Structure 1
Amino acid sequence: MFSHLDHELNGGHKAVQGFLTSIKKEEAAGFQEKNISIDQAAAEHVDSATRFPSINTGIQQGTDMCWTRAGVHVPPVNNPAALFRGLFVNSPSSERELKRTRLKHLGSVLDALRDSAIALNRTLNAADRDKLDQYLTSVRDVEKRLQMSKEWLDRPKSKSPIEEVQDEERQHIDEVALFYDLIALALQTNSTRVATLETGLGFRTAELNLGSYHGLSHHGKSEVRIEQLQVVEAFLTTKLSNFISRLKEAKIFDDTLIIFGSGMSDASIHSNRNLPVILAGGGVKHQGHVICPAEQHKRVPLANLWLSVLNWFGSEKEQFGRSTGTFSPMEIG
């Protein structure tokens, strides 16, 4: 657990999406890798070594935390049944052939788009060329995903150790647990090495017999609301604890580094400073509560921690977002 870490961002709800990036999307153009999030940077390192470079899940629409290097938002999978099918259900040969045809057609379309964009580039001013470069980066990202899809199209998926998850209406409190279980299985079967779970303000706290999540977060120092908010946080941290237990049972906890936190510390005043961050697993020599310097001239950017996490993962990156170096308060890589 860490204290006094943040990205020095302001903007309340609009800055929450910078939690895994250190950069707000409005400022992304000023950075070489735009506002790429740590999960997508790790996914780039994985490349096609697994069927899914990353798996991004969430309750309803999540919290807009995952972004590509082109500044494109990665929406979460919010249907556990769809995630299960993607992980464990093999498509019949007819569907695979249809997908192969679609991939080939899409590849031809992308080739034509790229050629047209390159020709257009010669006639643009500097500002427009920057926008075009962002567009071409998006095209290259899609081309890369197409290639990975082709590589895995005919490979059989892992066999599921559980019964198929049915496509049915569920309570959010059940979906959180189910997504954690599916993520654990995805890691255990090496279907992916990078996964996220976003639980935003759309989480139905009424299922815990409480007021709305958004309303509770704006507690105004009301003791009643704070007590209810603590119930929500206890629920979410309990599910995290259960997930950790699953990873330990599968003997992959020491090979999995977990980040748990939020892009807002005190929603009652819309503060994005001193963010709550927990790091677990990974075979790291954890130090309990790490209190980082609070003085402004000594503060350690949260992006430094993200850079060290990427280095632990095997990436040789020397810069991530607003990082000024690796994380000095403790050894991670």
Structure 2
Amino acid sequence: MQFGPGLQPLLPYRDDLCVLEGLFNAQSVANPSAHLGRMPNLLSGAWVSLDQNDLRVGRTMDQVLAQRIGKHTALPSLVLGIEPTELRLEDGLSMLYGSCISWSSPTRPTTKEIYPSRAFDAIVGNRRQAGLDRTILDQVLADAKSLRPQLAVRDRVKLDEYLESIRDIERRIDRAANEERLEGWRPTLTKADMPRPPNEIPQNVPDHMRLILDLIVLAFRMDRTRIA
């Protein structure tokens, strides 16, 4: 396989890579929305719903893998970004489609982290923050469960999806204390080899992107996740 300009930095590692070729996303080509009909299904190849009242696209491959092998690491997957999720409409469709390429279910995008400092804490482990997160989650769950009897059936479905995302965060917090590994697999780093980033979001976009990529490398080297 010939490596194009974009893959040239990976040339020394070509024997360790598996590059998929010949993929064609027919659903995105058929979708009339040039932007939102082709963004959220990059990793699923599924049809993007055009119904404003039915946010729906396929579950993405990264989350399918996270369910299968994510139990072996503290973080089932690492979903990072540099832009916040937008809630406005574009072409009559929710910008959630344009803000999220990772979907935990056909109707629920995976929560992404755009703050490098928070991503660092999730990777390296911050027990004090984990305790605070657990307290907040307990309160959120209690409030949500008390609200459920007051909702219509359709809204209960949405709430159940929301609660499942909360339970997923709970599992991540609990799993962070464990070190389950596949047989023979060992991290190349036991401690972070980079300082904790500042709490603020970098204002320079290239710097922000580079920092996010450095964090992904750190997570892989520490074997905190295998999917990002």
Q: CA 1:58–1:101 in 2, change beyond 3 Å: closer, same or farther?
A: closer
Matched AA of 1:81: S
**2:83 pairs with 33, 38, 60, which one?**
60
Task: Give the Cα separation in 2 of the matches to 1:75 and 1:151.
Answer: 17
**1:172 pairs with 188, 192, 205, which one?**
205
Note the aligned Cα RMSD (angstroms). 3.4
Q: CA deviation at 1:186?
A: 0.5
Task: Give the Cα separation in 2 of the matches to 1:113 and 1:49.
Answer: 35
Matched AA of 2:205: H
1:99 lines up with 2:133 in the alignment: yes
Q: CA deviation at 1:52?
A: 1.8
Which residue in 1 is equivalent to 2:25? Answer: 6
After superposition, where does 1:190-229 map in structure 2 within 5 Å? Answer: 190-195=223-228
TM-score in terms of structure 1 length: 0.44
Which digits, 9 at most, give the CA deviation of each residue in 1:132-189, with x for residues without a partner? Answer: 445423323322432432343x569x52022333345353223333222211110121
Whether contact under 8 Å (2:69, 2:76) holds in the other structure is yes
Whether contact under 8 Å (1:18, 1:25) holds in the other structure is no
Q: CA 1:6–1:48 in 2, change beyond 3 Å: closer, same or farther?
A: same
Q: CA 1:2–1:29 in 2, change beyond 3 Å: closer, same or farther?
A: same
Whether contact under 8 Å (2:49, 2:55) holds in the other structure is no
**1:51 pairs with 52, 56, 74, which one?**
74
Report the identity percentage: 20
Matched AA of 1:165: P
Task: Give the Cα separation in 2 of the matches to 1:98 and 1:79.
Answer: 18
Whether contact under 8 Å (2:79, 2:111) holds in the other structure is yes
Task: Give the Cα separation in 1 of the matches to 2:166 and 2:55.
Answer: 23
Q: CA deviation at 1:45?
A: 2.2
Which residue in 2 is equivalent to 1:108? Answer: 142
Which digits, 9 at most, give the CA deviation of each residue in 1:165-214, with x for residues without a partner? Answer: 3345353223333222211110121211211xxxxxxxxxxxxxxxxxxx
Q: Highest Rg: 1 or 2?
A: 1
Matched AA of 2:26: H
TM-score in terms of structure 2 length: 0.61
- Specify the SS of the correspondent of 1:68: strand
Whether contact under 8 Å (2:108, 2:161) holds in the other structure is no
